[in-house]
């Protein structure tokens, strides 16, 4: 029997090994929390900043560091011709104990989204992605016991983030963050980007 995998959802994972930059982002997150108002979007409790200025340090340093990885992710889609990426917006998140993020998508004119993990205590909340195939949420076969979980039989897929890890995923992919069960702050930043063609 020949099995043909005809559709796929890819999530790229990269470790950004720069302790100095990560510390600068850590400090910047708390600066925003102290000096700006909290924004309520998907967050239940916790702090979410407004979109930040992309050309301001340390955000610019971070984007310069990760842009090559964004391009590598886009290249998985085999786009013909020259192309580049443009960051559309970026914000910081601080989840304290019991804080979480409800299920949501990003889009907002973007093709892809990403999350970078600045400080991740143990048990501070996995990120869960929802299978975009509606059949995986209504068909009985997906509700039955499994020998093991794989990309064919899963309605959801989750990651336990690591500090300095970057996850890149389609902006249309629905996801949520489980409650922070630790007593320490879970700090991350999120951003959206789009592909520019002919550049």
What confidence tens digit (pLDDT) does each residue in 117-171 have?
A: 999 999 999 999 999 999 889 998 888 888 998 888 999 999 999 999 999 999 9
Work out the widest C-alpha separation in the chain, in whole angstroms: 61
Q: What is the pTM of this model?
A: 0.95
What confidence tens digit (pLDDT) does each residue in 96-121 have?
A: 999 999 999 997 789 999 999 999 99
Q: Domain map of the chain by residue range?
A: 12-96+122-133+152-186
Q: Quick one: pLDDT at residue 22?
A: 98
The residue assigned the tokens 């951003």 is 191
CB-count burial class (<10 Å; 0-12, 13-18, 19+) for 69: middle
């Amino acid at each position: 029997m020949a099995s043909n995998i005809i559709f796929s959802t890819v999530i790229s994972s990269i470790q950004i090994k720069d302790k100095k930059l990560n510390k600068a982002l850590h400090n910047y997150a708390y600066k925003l929390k102290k000096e700006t108002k909290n924004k309520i979007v998907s967050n239940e409790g916790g702090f979410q900043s407004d979109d930040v200025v992309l050309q301001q340090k340390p955000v610019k340093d971070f984007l310069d560091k990760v842009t090559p990885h964004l391009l590598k992710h886009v290249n998985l889609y085999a786009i013909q011709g020259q192309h580049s990426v443009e960051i559309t917006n970026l914000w910081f998140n601080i989840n304290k104990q019991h804080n979480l993020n409800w299920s949501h998508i990003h889009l907002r004119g973007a093709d892809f989204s990403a999350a970078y993990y600045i400080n991740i205590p143990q048990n501070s909340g996995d990120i869960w992605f929802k299978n975009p195939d509606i059949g995986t949420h209504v068909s009985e076969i997906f509700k039955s016991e499994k020998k093991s979980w794989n990309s064919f039989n899963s309605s959801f897929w989750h990651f336990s983030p690591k500090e300095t890890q970057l996850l890149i995923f389609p902006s249309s992919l629905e996801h949520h963050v489980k409650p922070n069960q630790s007593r320490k702050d879970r700090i991350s930043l999120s951003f959206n980007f789009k592909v520019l063609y002919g550049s």
